[in-house]
Chain A
Amino acid sequence: DAGVIQSPRHEVTEMGQEVTLRCKPISGHNSLFWYRQTMMRGLELLIYFNNNVPIDDSGMPEDRFSAKMPNASFSTLKIQPSEPRDSAVYFCASSLHREVNEQFFGPGTRLTVL
């Protein structure tokens, strides 16, 4: 299995631009998680899907952030408009929604907003 795939791996954009991060979970997994990692705040859960349905979006910082999962094999995290404080590494993880669930993380997208 290829594991969780994220694209792009690096993104540099200017303040005010729209940014779209993409994730392909492991085939057969039915839960998907978006995390943000910064030095100051560590690893924060932004949103969590189960069977393509958003279950918990309490970590989404504000309305500028949105996430979708149109099917079991694809999810996007969009930031519009982007701000310099959004600079971070964004991880996608997937798992089987079951007891003792190991989350498998992708390699992350390093976002820099100038």
Chain B
Amino acid sequence: QQQVKQSPQSLIVQKGGISIINCAYENTAFDYFPWYQQFPGKGPALLIAIRPDVSEKKEGRFTISFNKSAKQFSLHIMDSQPGDSATYFCAASFTSGTYKYIFGTGTRLKVLA
């Protein structure tokens, strides 16, 4: 019940294309869903996050779509750029009690120039 399933494991997209990464969770008590971006040799860094009271959040070229009934959420990267090439992790957390994250397994994105 604590798992977060992420797909695909890896993704190759042409420059200018749309990258889509999907995550699914089981525990309906999760109420905070961040996405982290990790470049080689660096620690993950927060990219964008959403609460389940909204269905979509957009920041620049990055959008989270959230489907509460399906217990799924996804990251869309519009106009993908080579500089977006990184590993992306979704996560789920609680906003009360324990604040630990449950991370997905990661998606390695490569954007071709």
Binding site for B on A (CB under 8 A): 4, 31, 33, 42-43, 45, 48, 55-56, 91, 93, 95, 97-108
Cα of A55 to Cα of B49 in the assembled complex, Å: 24
Asked if A99 and B105 make an inter-chain contact with CB atoms under 8 angstroms apart, the answer reads: no
* Chain A CB within 10 A, most for which of B41, B96, B104: B41
Are A108 and B43 also in contact (CB < 8 A) when A42-B105, A42-B106, A43-B89 are? Answer: yes
Tell me, yes or no, whether B18 is within 8 Å of chain A by CB: no
Tell me, yes or no, whether B55 is within 8 Å of chain A by CB: no
Count: A-B pairs, CB below 8 Å:
51
In the assembled complex, 5 residue pairs joining A and B whose CB atoms fall closer than 8 Å, in A order, are: A42-B103, A43-B44, A98-B99, A102-B34, A108-B42
A62 to chain B, nearest CB (A): 20
Asked if B99 and A31 make an inter-chain contact with CB atoms under 8 angstroms apart, the answer reads: yes
Residues from chain A with Cβ under 8 Å of B41 in the complex:
107
Are A43 and B103 also in contact (CB < 8 A) when A93-B43, A107-B42 are? Answer: yes
Asked if B43 and A107 make an inter-chain contact with CB atoms under 8 angstroms apart, the answer reads: yes
Tell me, yes or no, whether B98 is within 8 Å of chain A by CB: yes
A4, A42, A95, A106: the one contacting B99 at CB < 8 Å is: A95
Are A100 and B101 also in contact (CB < 8 A) when A43-B44, A106-B43 are? Answer: no
Which residue of chain A has its CB nearest to the CB of B99? A101
Chain B residue total in the interface (Cβ 8 A) = 23
* Interface of chain B, main secondary structure: loop
Binding site for A on B (CB under 8 A): 32, 34, 41-46, 49, 51, 89, 93, 95-96, 98-106
* Interface of chain A, main secondary structure: strand
A48, A99, A106, A107: the one contacting B100 at CB < 8 Å is: A48
Asked if A45 and B101 make an inter-chain contact with CB atoms under 8 angstroms apart, the answer reads: yes
Cα of A33 to Cα of B102 in the assembled complex, Å: 12
Cα of A91 to Cα of B45 in the assembled complex, Å: 12
Cα of A101 to Cα of B93 in the assembled complex, Å: 9
Starting from the known contacts A43-B103, A105-B43, 11 additional A-B residue pairs (CB-CB under 8 Å) come to A4-B43, A31-B99, A42-B89, A43-B106, A55-B98, A91-B44, A95-B99, A99-B32, A99-B96, A101-B99, A106-B43
